[in-house]
Amino acid sequence: MLSPDTIKQYLARTLADYDWIKGFTGPQFDSDLAALNPQPDLNKLWLHQKACFLLLLELKRFMLFLDMGGGKTNITLQLLKYRKERGEQPKAIVFVPYITSVDTWVEECAKHTPSLKCQPLVAGTAANLASLSEQADLYVICYQSAVAMLSKKESDGWSLKAADVRAKFPGFDTLVCDEIHRCKSATSLTFRMCRAISAQCEYVLGLTGTPFGRDLGDLWPQFYLIDFGATLGNTFALYRESFFTKKAKYWGGYEYCFKQKMLPQLKQTIKNASISYTIDEFADMPPKDYVVQHIEPPEESLGYTQSSTKLLRDAIKSGDYKAVQSNYLRLRQLSSGFLTLHADDSDKLQVQFNQNPKLDALAELIEDMPATSKAVIFHHFIYTNKLISDKLKSMKVKHARIWGGQRDPIGELRKFKTDDKCRVLVINWKSGSSSLNLQGANYLIVFEQPESPIDRKQGEARVWRPGQTQRVIIYDLLVKNTVDSRLHKANECGKELLRELLDGKEL
């Protein structure tokens, strides 16, 4: 237990605030850039991108909280390019959330900074390790692949040693954590890997558009990777005891709840090592329209829905954690017109209903879509990807598919982007809500809701982002009186429905 004086001193620290740079005009930025030697060519950058470039060049370890489409990748590439132009030999390791995100960095590098050599690491462990020995300015790999290269199976679980990390990622002077909120758990292998690399790097950049999730405790690990406690404290305990209160949990034990009155001070505190720009501050965007289509459930599913709803409520009352999850998942599947044995989305038997009004509604939308438009369809379950694909095949609609088990997700992504006849991309939230540029499409159809409001916001930003020239229309297909509609409402309110249920709030 920390003393009140320790907490008081921690909260009373004088920290930096870089929002003053938002008041700079174009001529002021150009003057500062002209004073650099050599002078960088940043004429094509927006004002907020020039501001971020200057801050990163000076501060070296920093966080960019830019709404999706704000050019975080381009800013980072321009920084590496300029450092190289002034005689340095930057060597950056870039961690991204998904393997498809690797291709985004490769594309952006070729487009904006062709003088940099970008080495993608998208193969197996042995091939990736071999590629690390090749000469390049930046190496891009998804977090999961990197952890697989480093972790070892021991009797007490998976382990990862800092010395092993440094041995396999030697010589890097720059660490870039794209979508740094993927490092939100201080006990995860991902965090420990990035921490070991951060300790040996001069430049450490955190990039994200969504730093604030439901749990503000997630901020501490992210900032610790950047400045090792200079902003939010050397220990998680100090941060938690200063900004949170301890409360009993519904299922037993305790949890720390954020003190809402402390939110203004927390927002001010993190400005010590970050700057934030919303989409309204950096770009004129085309209109975005939402259309909610309510759909009647198939009659043959009603009995299953009623029984699963009753079992869910009973599980909540009895405190049966596993039964809550199981029946909640079953209700989600029923909303999409199928049922999986044990409701765990495995490769076991899936049962489809003879009628699927939601799938029929999707087909109508695709048929009515203008011939020159493209659509991105987001879903949750792996089986749903096949369900939608089979429907599109029957309609003779050329499409691409990406999900967790896709063998060639980069190839599918390129097909959607480059083939005018490929009009639809079917992708699950886990694979596609972050780090993809899909503004070639102007229709986004939510077939199954995401579990997190953050995923929802990021998913929309794959299509509605700078570079989009068309009006964007976002359709939500919701089956009436089901968990489908309740999940949509939870996302609108910034809540996670399953978390609410597990906290004892009935459906």
| Beta carbons within 8 Å of 428's beta carbon, 6+ residues apart | 378, 379, 380, 381, 382, 384, 385, 402, 403, 404
Prediction pTM value: 0.70
- The predicted pLDDT at position 483 comes to 87
Instruction: Return the half-sphere exposure (C-beta side, CA atoms, 13 A cut-off) of residue 367.
Output: 11
Cα pseudo-dihedral 211, 217, 222, 223, rounded to 10 = 100
DSSP 179-236: TGGGG--TTSHHHHHHHHHHTT-SEEEEEES----S-GGGHHHHHHHHHTTTTT-SSH
**CA dist., res. 412 & res. 124, Å (int):** 19
pLDDT score, position 177? 97
pLDDT of residue 348: 63
Q: State residue 507's pLDDT score.
A: 47
436 SS3 class: coil
Report pLDDT for 250. 65
**pLDDT per residue rounded down to tens, the chain (507 residues):** 789 999 999 999 999 999 999 999 999 999 999 999 999 999 889 999 999 999 999 999 999 999 877 889 999 999 999 999 999 999 999 999 988 889 889 999 999 999 999 999 998 889 998 999 899 999 999 999 999 888 765 545 566 788 888 888 899 999 999 999 889 999 999 999 999 999 999 999 999 986 566 689 999 999 999 999 999 999 999 999 999 998 877 667 778 889 999 999 999 999 999 999 987 787 667 889 999 999 988 888 888 888 888 888 888 888 888 888 888 888 999 889 888 765 454 456 677 888 899 999 999 999 989 989 999 999 999 999 999 999 999 999 999 999 877 788 889 999 999 999 999 999 999 887 777 889 999 999 999 999 888 888 888 988 988 788 899 999 999 998 888 888 998 888 878 787 777 666 654
DSSP structural state of residue 141: E
Rounded Cα–Cα distance for residues 320 and 313 (Å): 10
Helix (H) or strand (E) holding 315: helix 299-318
> What residue ranges define each of the domains in the chain, with the CATH number in brackets?
16-281 (3.40.50.10810), 288-302+349-495 (3.40.50.300)
What are the φ/ψ torsions at residue 70 (nearest 5 degrees)?
-80, 0
Tell me how far the alpha carbon of residue 199 is from its chain's centroid.
24
Strands (E), 348-409: 350-352, 375-379, 399-402
Q: What is the pLDDT of residue 393?
A: 97
255 DSSP β-pair partners: 247
Is residue 460 within 8 Å of 429, Cβ to Cβ?
A: no
pLDDT at residue 349 in the model: 65
The reported pLDDT for the residue numbered 209 is 81
Q: What is the pLDDT of residue 343?
A: 47
Pairing of strands 152-154, 157-159: antiparallel
